[in-house]
Amino acid sequence: MLYLQDSLHCHNINLVSPSHFAPQIVEALLTAVPLGLSIPLVYNTSAYDSLETLRLLDGIIDIYLPDIKYATNDRASAFSQAENYVETSRQAIQEMYRQVGDLVTDEDGIAVKGLIVRHLILPNGIAGSADSLKWLAENISRHTAVSIMAQYHPSHLALREPLLSRRINHSEYNQVVALLEELEMENGWLQEMESADFYLPDFDSRAHPFER
């Protein structure tokens, strides 16, 4: 952690899918913080998190970066094998917001604290984008920073599922953009429709899989 801060000069430490090793994170911090660790910690998660674990992290995590993937449990169960995803993820996001509030950035626009919610638009309304965004606006904050992603690209087993076997279309994309305007949710980021071409790894590349 200190190497990332002091030698690489990172803006933050991004803990990806960290729920299962939360105790080890805290243990590492007990060593690193007295030695000078001060950059923000990012909790990068699917939001399918234990409330008990999140409450134990109160005051430790600076930035929460959860997904809000689905608006119905049947879709979450069918496509991600995540039972009770809606209740679990929404309770988790509410707890995250209670701890850190809306996104705060420094004078250079770098995030230092707060909540950022990612949402991936899926074809055929599978993600329930309208319901999820309305829930965020009404139950979290209209000032919530949202990262709307349009990069969905079907591959492997998704090609066998008719509802998931294509990219999103312009109509689906434009509906989400219009809804953001209607809800007056102006904070965050919006990927362009063409992003599916740029975020697809080329694992046949002998160099970096994201170099195109």
Which tens digits make up the pLDDT trace of 58-75? 999 999 999 999 999 999
The amino acid occupying position 155 is S
The answer to whether residue 204 is domain-embedded is no
**Contact in structure between 45 and 67 (CB atoms under 8 Å):** yes
Confidence bin at 195 (pLDDT 50/70/90):
confident
Residue with tokens 């349009």: 150
Beta bridge partners of 41: 13
The answer to whether residue 202 is domain-embedded is no
What would the mean pLDDT of 159-188 be, rounded to a whole number? 95
pLDDT in tens, 1-57: 999 989 999 999 999 999 999 999 999 999 999 999 999 999 999 999 999 999 999
pLDDT in tens, 116-139: 999 999 999 999 999 999 999 999
The answer to whether residue 163 is domain-embedded is yes
CA-nearest of 153, 146, 151 to 132 is 146
Confidence bin at 210 (pLDDT 50/70/90):
low
The answer to whether residue 153 is domain-embedded is yes
The answer to whether residue 211 is domain-embedded is no
Confidence bin at 211 (pLDDT 50/70/90):
low
- 11: domain range? 2-193
With 0-12 CB in 10 A as exposed, 13-18 as middle and 19+ as buried, what is 57? buried
Residue 20: which residues within 8 A CB-CB, separation 6 or more? Answer: none
The answer to whether residue 209 is domain-embedded is no
Confidence bin at 198 (pLDDT 50/70/90):
confident
What would the mean pLDDT of 197-204 be, rounded to a whole number? 75
The whole-number pLDDT of residue 101 equals: 97
The whole-number pLDDT of residue 209 equals: 64
Number of domains, the chain: 1
The answer to whether residue 203 is domain-embedded is no
pLDDT in tens, 91-111: 999 999 999 999 999 999 999
Say yes or no to pLDDT of 212 above 60. Answer: no
CATH of the domain at 38: 3.80.30.10
The answer to whether residue 198 is domain-embedded is no
